[in-house]
Amino acid sequence: MAKIQEWLSKTLKSLGLRPIYKSGKAKFGESTLQKIEQRRVYDGFFTDITFQDTAPWFGVRDFTVRFNHQFNQSDGAVIFVEIEGAGCLIIKQWRKSGRWTHEIPRGFAIDNHQGSLALSILENDIGELAMKLLTINQVVDLGEVDENTGTSCISPQFFLVRASANHQNLIDCYDKNHPVKLDVWSHQKLWQEIGGKIRDNHSIAAVSLAFKYLGVLRA
């Protein structure tokens, strides 16, 4: 069993994917990943690995797990930008699902990023013009959050970026026909929009972690 586990971990790592460090033991109520049946790469962003999965209660079956394609660089990042004295930076953009979304900035690893992963991904998402309006005061690593423990092995990093800026200049920096639109929301408005305009898991997790760190949410 240890050899299977070691082989799985090494194979996934060689593919640039997040390793699985435990293949499971039936005596502990765990199903066991035995081997890789199939690998499929989508658009350079995701890789689906189909494993042979075994357990006494269901026998042998195929089970597919999704990975980020560039784990050797990062599993992606979500960046909560706190504009000092104004609130949180919100990005509004058109999604391929056919709707406009309001989100916390996020993105995948960038091949040639230099320096801070958080700031590189932030600039890639909000654009160079908006990034130049920010004076970065602090970058805080808030840790990883598992995206979907049932069918994926993806855990993006979450960051809090404290910055100074004229928030109205940020809001006005792009034309109406630009694909990215920015806004700055107060903590109260942001909290009120959880489950409303803010409805994706990445953004909700980012708000929770940032509010906890900032003392907005208390136990």
If you average pLDDT over every residue of the chain, what do you get? 89
Q: Give the chain's residues under pLDDT 50.
A: none
Q: What is the pLDDT of residue 109?
A: 67
The tokens of 72 are what? 């050797």
Domain covering 77-214: architecture: Alpha-Beta Complex (3.90)
> Which residues are CB-contacts of 58 (< 8 A; sequence separation ≥ 6)?
31
Count of Cβ atoms closer than 10 Å to residue 81 Cβ: 28
Say what the pLDDT of residue 114 is. Answer: 52
Contact status, residue 102 vs residue 202, Cβ threshold 8 Å: no
Q: Where are the domains of the chain?
A: 2-68, 77-214
Question: Is there a contact between 164 and 134 (Cβ–Cβ < 8 Å)?
Answer: yes
Predicted confidence at residue 42, as pLDDT, reads 85
Give me the DSSP letters along 142-210.
EEE--S-TTTB----EEEEEEEE--HHHHHHSS-TTSSEEEEEE-HHHHHHTBTTTB-SHHHHHHHHHH
> What pLDDT was estimated at residue 1?
58
What is the Cα–Cα distance from 184 to 161, expressed in whole angstroms? 14
